[in-house]
A and B are shown apart, each in its own frame.
Chain A
Amino acid sequence: MEVQEIINEKNLVYQPSKLLTGAAFNFCPGCGHGTVVRLVMEVVEEMDIQSDVIGISPVGCSVLLYDFYNIDVIQAAHGRATAVATGLKRVLPDKFVFTYQGDGDLAAIGTGETIHACNRGENITVIYVNNGTYGMTGGQMAPTTIPGMKTSTSPRGRDVATMGHPLRITDIVASLDGACYVTRQAVHTPAAVRKTKRALRTAFENQKLKRGTSFVEVVCSCHSGWKMTPLQSNRWMEENMFPYYPLGDLKVMNGQT
């Protein structure tokens, strides 16, 4: 069989969302961001809401979201995406607004904004990529860095006695009355990718129903920051990150799928 016979329309099983501009992702090859970023646009495309959706990019590896997305995007200051989303959603209550943030952005410098936006039940979708480190600035310790994990600012490993414990902000968010849907997912296997996509769909559907804040954590690897190969980092993530950040739904309201 010729290659041409295999690569043709009728054998097509997957193609990137039409809402991606085609600009090359700036992520390290094998990074979880690449998967999450495309999943968001697939969901937006499938829901056919591209003319009603506005994304908010953080400061972090995903800062250039607007290069990849053919939708309106606002770039927010480090940590402030949920406050920006609040302002926008309050004046455009019928639009879909989502933030896309890393763990340094959402759970360190932006903790206050995160908690209060979720507590007010802002009708937005928060997408939280937790890779246990500051990817963009070169792999420093994050609030989510697990005990003993070596980073450039915890070179002897995170010592909880002086550096504190990993922050499970998603658990805190789940305890807030304003949050209607809180889940923790991953994208390290095809099955996990499918689950994350379903979670994102639920999170956007909730906006349509004006239910409050939907919060989707995706535990990802940052193999560049962790100084591993992508494969090694996926294994390391399963063995070391998942025990701290167990996957699954933390809060689901009646009627959510």
Chain B
Amino acid sequence: MKELRLMKGNEAIAEAAIRAGADAYFGYPITPQSEILEYLAEQNTEEAGGMIVLQAESEVAAINMVYGAASAGRRVMTSSSSPGISLMTEGISYLAGAELPCLIVNVARGGPGLGTIQPSQADYFQSTKGGGHGDYRLLTLAPYSVQEMADFVALGFDLAFKYRNPVLILSDGVIGQMMEKVELPPALPRRQTGEPWATTGKTPDRERNIITSLNLDALKHERHNLRLQEKYRQMEAEDTRYTTNLCHDAEYLMVAYGASARIGGKAVEMAREKGVKAGLFRPVTLFPFPSKALYDAAKNVKGILSVEMSAGQMIEDVRLATECSVPVRHFGRYGGVVHAPGEILEALLQLAADSGQPTACRKGTPLPADQAQ
């Protein structure tokens, strides 16, 4: 029987974590995602089912607690928002280097610095291009509904263990805070099988296990890096995700993820009503970016509007994917401002009105006069 509930995105993540059989959560409060820790604390998860929930003294500590618990081969997660994720990046680099599975949730807010507590998508670069030091990648899932917030938890754990790599859910304050109907995922049993690589105590029947990201020999370390790259290519081949809506006959394509896809989808429908054949291409994995699918989807279009709550970050991947074969424009509000469907529609209509005119590849949309002040 379906279990339906009206929930905030943040609560859905927390409830889904319990149901996914997560063994441990470590986190530090930060708006707009504190409900995750609060919800888990309220559920008394340790007594109810053995899930450890611990408030750490900082995000630095939280991610290193994740590193320790993940070393035991358990399903471990943390969540934070932009400034907290910045603090975690050293630890995330270690997790990727030591090949530990874990789930990290970023309910992003506007930066840079302390920025604002309002929603933002300005952590795209940080999420998909490394963030911390070294040649590593995070498999990055971008939910655009409360339902996906819930569904991506178990999916995220599965992918983390499939690749022995951290998985990031990159959400934003809109999706984290909004309430929607959600069909709760089924409750999974707790992980029983021990991972052969886990540091759980060296029993006589096996060699000792070592979790480390250190290699003093550069050639050995190059081989390690090559193997990591191989893994990232495998992610690209097997776990790239995206959705399309009204793309089959589209002349103008909007590319947007997360909350922008939510709002942009509305603008696409409005454009259709005005006779402009628009379609929405939504990357669901930001890394691996659905480059090939986007290249194919863009073959017959006259222009692309890349919509983000940022100054233009994903647009770089959109341009790389389409190899500048189609004019690509950016439309974004940022610093915590969420765009309205009307203004996205305007940008779409403008793109259509300008069709055929070459658009410089690197040019973004100039700010309207009132915004430029």
A binding-site residues for B, Cβ under 8 Å: 50-54, 56, 63-64, 66, 69-77, 80, 83-92, 95, 112-113, 116
User: Given contacts A75-B213, A90-B69, are A83 and B199 in contact (CB under 8 A)?
Assistant: no
CB pair A80–B202 under 8 Å, yes or no, is no
Chain A contacts for B62, CB-based, 8 A = 83
CB pair B69–A87 under 8 Å, yes or no, is yes
What 3 A-B pairs have minimum CB-CB distances, sorted nearest first? Answer: A87-B68, A87-B65, A83-B64
A172 to chain B, nearest CB (A): 15
In the complex, how many residue pairs between chain A and chain B have their CB atoms under 8 Å apart? 125
Interface string of B49-90 (1 = CB under 8 A from A): 000101011101110111111111010100000000000001
CB pair A75–B201 under 8 Å, yes or no, is no
User: Given contacts A83-B65, A113-B64, are A63 and B72 in contact (CB under 8 A)?
Assistant: no
B23 to chain A, nearest CB (A): 6
User: Given known contacts A72-B208, A76-B68, what 14 new A-B pairs fall within 8 Å (CB)?
Assistant: A51-B203, A51-B204, A71-B201, A72-B200, A72-B201, A74-B67, A77-B90, A80-B67, A80-B91, A87-B69, A92-B72, A95-B201, A112-B58, A113-B64
User: Given contacts A69-B208, A77-B90, A113-B61, are A87 and B202 in contact (CB under 8 A)?
Assistant: no
Report 23 cross-chain contacts, Cβ distance below 8 Å, ordered by A residue.
Answer: A50-B201, A51-B202, A54-B199, A56-B68, A72-B199, A72-B201, A72-B208, A73-B211, A74-B211, A74-B212, A80-B60, A83-B56, A84-B67, A84-B71, A85-B68, A86-B54, A90-B24, A90-B52, A90-B65, A91-B23, A95-B201, A112-B61, A113-B57
Chain B contacts for A54, CB-based, 8 A = 71, 199-201
CB pair A87–B212 under 8 Å, yes or no, is no
B209 proximal to A (CB < 8 A): yes
Chain B contacts for A90, CB-based, 8 A = 24, 52, 54, 65, 69
Selected from A50, A63, A74, the residue in CB contact (under 8 A) with B71 is A74
Chain B contacts for A75, CB-based, 8 A = 98, 210-214
C-alpha spacing A113/B64, complex, angstroms: 10
The residue of chain A having its C-beta at the shortest distance from the C-beta of B91 within the complex is: A77
CB pair B57–A112 under 8 Å, yes or no, is yes
CB pair A53–B201 under 8 Å, yes or no, is yes
CB pair A73–B199 under 8 Å, yes or no, is yes
B94 proximal to A (CB < 8 A): yes
User: Given contacts A71-B202, A92-B200, are A76 and B208 in contact (CB under 8 A)?
Assistant: no
The residue of chain A having its C-beta at the shortest distance from the C-beta of B69 within the complex is: A87
The residue of chain B having its C-beta at the shortest distance from the C-beta of A80 within the complex is: B64
CB pair A77–B208 under 8 Å, yes or no, is no
Chain A contacts for B52, CB-based, 8 A = 90-91
The residue of chain A having its C-beta at the shortest distance from the C-beta of B203 within the complex is: A51
List residues of B (208-254) whose CB comes within 8 Å of A's CBs: 208-214
Chain B contacts for A80, CB-based, 8 A = 60-61, 64, 67, 91
B interface residues, tally (CB under 8 Å): 39
B26 proximal to A (CB < 8 A): yes
Chain A contacts for B26, CB-based, 8 A = 87
CB pair A83–B60 under 8 Å, yes or no, is yes
The residue of chain B having its C-beta at the shortest distance from the C-beta of A53 within the complex is: B201
CB pair B201–A87 under 8 Å, yes or no, is no
Chain B contacts for A73, CB-based, 8 A = 199, 208, 210-212
C-alpha spacing A52/B199, complex, angstroms: 10
C-alpha spacing A52/B69, complex, angstroms: 15
A244 to chain B, nearest CB (A): 28
A137 to chain B, nearest CB (A): 15
C-alpha spacing A76/B63, complex, angstroms: 11
A126 to chain B, nearest CB (A): 14
A82 to chain B, nearest CB (A): 9
CB pair B68–A88 under 8 Å, yes or no, is yes
Chain A contacts for B67, CB-based, 8 A = 74, 76-77, 80, 83-84, 87
Selected from B90, B91, B201, B208, the residue in CB contact (under 8 A) with A70 is B208
B64 to chain A, nearest CB (A): 4
A104 to chain B, nearest CB (A): 16
Interface string of B18-38 (1 = CB under 8 A from A): 000001101000000000000
The residue of chain B having its C-beta at the shortest distance from the C-beta of A73 within the complex is: B210
Chain B contacts for A66, CB-based, 8 A = 208, 210, 212
CB pair A83–B61 under 8 Å, yes or no, is yes
Selected from A87, A92, A95, the residue in CB contact (under 8 A) with B64 is A87
CB pair B69–A74 under 8 Å, yes or no, is no
Chain A contacts for B210, CB-based, 8 A = 66, 72-75
Chain B contacts for A70, CB-based, 8 A = 202, 208
